[in-house]
């Protein structure tokens, strides 16, 4: 049997800034600062309704922030509250749970 040659794929290290304070970071100046600091991506937590609270962008604000980021060459990672507070659903359909421990606890 011949020699096994393992090659590593070309990888590019990415830096993600988690923007968890919409009342402070929902502006283009924040993105410009992040670019100057070498970040390649931003991360936003989103929610569909209600007022802004610590850590969560409303959908429309996230859409605007995403456009501002893309206009500057930044990529965006969005996290949602999918399944949070959905215990009845997870009981009915346990395969939808996005947790690393058995359900129910």
Q: Would you say residue 36 lies in a domain?
A: yes
50-100 pLDDT tens trace = 655 556 888 888 999 999 999 999 999 988 766 666 677 677 877 766 654
Q: Would you say residue 77 lies in a domain?
A: yes
Q: How many domains is the chain built from? A: 1
Q: Give dist(CA 23, CA 63) in Å, integer.
A: 15
Q: Would you say residue 102 lies in a domain?
A: no
What's the pLDDT at 66?
95
Q: Would you say residue 11 lies in a domain?
A: no
Runs of H (alpha helix) within the chain: 22-25, 28-36, 59-71, 87-92
Q: Would you say residue 104 lies in a domain?
A: no
**What range defines the domain where residue 52 resides?**
16-96
Q: Would you say residue 9 lies in a domain?
A: no
Q: Would you say residue 8 lies in a domain?
A: no
The pTM (predicted TM-score) of the whole model is 0.66
């Amino acid at each position: 049997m011949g020699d096994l040659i393992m090659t590593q794929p070309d990888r590019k290290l990415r830096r993600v800034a988690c923007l968890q304070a919409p009342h402070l970071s929902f502006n283009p100046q924040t993105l410009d600062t992040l670019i100057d600091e070498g970040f390649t991506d931003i991360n936003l937590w989103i929610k569909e309704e209600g007022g802004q609270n610590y850590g969560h962008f409303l959908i429309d604000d996230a859409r605007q922030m995403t456009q501002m980021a893309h206009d500057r060459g930044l990529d965006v990672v969005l996290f949602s509250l999918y399944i949070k507070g959905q215990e009845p659903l997870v009981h009915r359909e346990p395969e939808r749970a996005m947790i690393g421990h058995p359900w129910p606890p």
